Amino acid sequence: MKYMIFLIFVFALFLNSCSNKYFNLDNDIDNKVPAWFIDFKDEDEKNIYAIATSISPDMQLSLEKSKMLALNNIAQKLKGLLDSNFKVSSVNEKVITEGDVNIIVENFSTRGFKEQQREIFKTKGDRYRTYLKISLEKALIKSFDDYIIENR
């Protein structure tokens, strides 16, 4: 019995000594992140901003994925602004409800969005990481508000 406990102890010691080996795994993500991406502000007096990043083996696909993520981000901000502005309003004796606004927002075009900054890095695994910042002018949001009111 003592012999069995001794063997288990030696085996555990052997396994513990093997566990101190560290393996350096190649990571696809470089440590390069643009300063404008880190110090990001959601909006200023004239614009609403959104940022996104994506990684892909193809440079164009990485850029397109970043654009779609940034557009989705800014569309969510726009939806939040419109929902807060149009919970229930009445114009010309017609009521605009939350459901009406949601239908219109789903059909909203992506025109008017501008690419502010973009950086593309090649990572260690021959992949491309794109950092993207886009903007939407607040004046376009105001004209969109007017469009909703006029067409109800």
Q: Which two tokens stand for residue 79?
A: 């939806």
In a domain, residue 31? The reply is no
The pTM of this model reads 0.62
82 is in which domain, residue-wise? 41-150
Residue that the structure tokens 């593309």 belong to: 120
Q: What are phi and psi of 8, to 5 degrees?
A: -65, -40
Specify if 107 maps to a domain: yes
* HSE-up (13 A, CA, CB side) for residue 9: 6
The pLDDT score that the predictor gives to residue 6 is 74
Does residue 22 lie within any of the structural domains? no
**Would you say residue 32 lies in a domain?**
no
Residue 6 lies in a domain: no
Provide the domain count of the chain: 1
Q: pLDDT value at position 68? A: 93
For each successive 10 residues of the chain (152 residues), what is the average pLDDT?
74 60 49 88 89 94 94 85 59 53 53 87 90 88 58 52
> What is the largest distance, in Å, between two alpha-carbon atoms of the chain?
94
Q: pLDDT at position 34, please? A: 92
Residues whose CB is less than 8 angstroms from the CB of residue 45 and which lie 6 or more positions away in sequence, other chains included: 138
Q: Is residue 62 part of a domain?
A: yes
Tell which residue, 77, 76, 74, 102, has the closest CA to residue 87: 102
